[in-house]
Structure 1
Amino acid sequence: MFEARGETAFEHRMHQGSSLMVSHHFGGATQLPVAIQTWVVPPGGFEGFHRHDGEQPLTEIYQVLEGRARMRIANAEYELGPGDSALAPAGVDHDLVNTGEGELRVLVVWGPPGHFDMSGFGSHQRYLQQKSAGK
């Protein structure tokens, strides 16, 4: 399967936030328990302070592809730029704001919290080695 940039884009308002463009990649066709989206947030745009708990708890990962952002997670604030990532665990209040002068492009992966054993994968083993070495 192939999907061109912007092919699945639609305007959407998240959690009482401002309007943004969302591309919902492969719309559930991956058979993975996550949604993979790209958001394009205009200057000054924001997601809206919210949490995912209750009957459908969700964990979200945000990675900035282009632009500048401020991410509030619980009582902490983070300034994000290209390549930076943030994790919003299920049940934790969070918000994303475009603080740059241009568009903010963010890769967002979200789904129910859970676990699977990654220990047999070389990239995960390498991550653990670097983490234990303090890198």
Structure 2
Amino acid sequence: MLERAGTRAFLYNLHEGSPLQMQWLFYGQSELPVAVQTWELPPGGFEGMHSHAEPGRPLEEIYVVTEGTGQMTVEDETYSVAVGDAVLARAGTRHDLLNTGKGPLKVLVIWGEPRPADYSDFGSAKMARVARTDASPD
């Protein structure tokens, strides 16, 4: 099944931020327990400071920059982000994304309810564990 970039995109305002273009990939088709979305923020565009700590429905988000530059604030830390960078916003943390570049900021956003998942039998999980052990923490 293929979903082409932009074919089901729409404008949306998140968390009192500025309008952004969003595409919810495979909405209503995938049975994975996460949402996978592409967002495009115009220069100066922002998501809006918020958290996902609603009782009974906490959400965790991963942001992966695919084009452009921006600034991601998570609690009291602000990070400059560029292509290939990823940021984790754990459930309940206040966070915001801002496009600081002259062109669009494109991100892949994966979000859902945090819960344990065991992928330890997969070879890539074993290699990721080794890579995290050998790498310096950020």
TM-score range with shorter-chain normalisation?
over 0.9
SS in 1 for 2:83: coil
Separation in 2, partners of 1:97, 1:35: 21
Q: Percent identity?
A: 46
Q: Deviations over 1:71-101 (max 9, x none)?
A: 0000000000000000000000000000000
Task: Tell me how large the CA RMSD over aligned residues is.
Answer: 0.9
* Structure 1 residue 133, shift from structure 2 partner: 2.3
Q: Which runs of 5+ in 1 are unaligned?
A: none
* Structure 1 residue 132, shift from structure 2 partner: 1.9
Q: Which runs of 5+ in 2 are unaligned?
A: none
Aligned partner letter, 2:30: T
Q: Is the Cα contact below 8 Å between 1:18 and 1:47 reproduced in 2?
A: yes
Separation in 1, partners of 2:28, 2:59: 16
Separation in 2, partners of 1:11, 1:25: 15
Separation in 2, partners of 1:132, 1:28: 38
Separation in 2, partners of 1:24, 1:92: 23
Separation in 2, partners of 1:134, 1:97: 28
Q: Is the Cα contact below 8 Å between 1:42 and 1:98 reproduced in 2?
A: yes
Aligned to 2:66: 65
In the comparison of the two structures, how many residue pairs are matched? 135
Could you state the TM-score of these two structures normalised by the residue count of structure 2?
A: 0.95
Matches within 5 A, 1:1-135: 1-54=1-54, 55-134=56-135
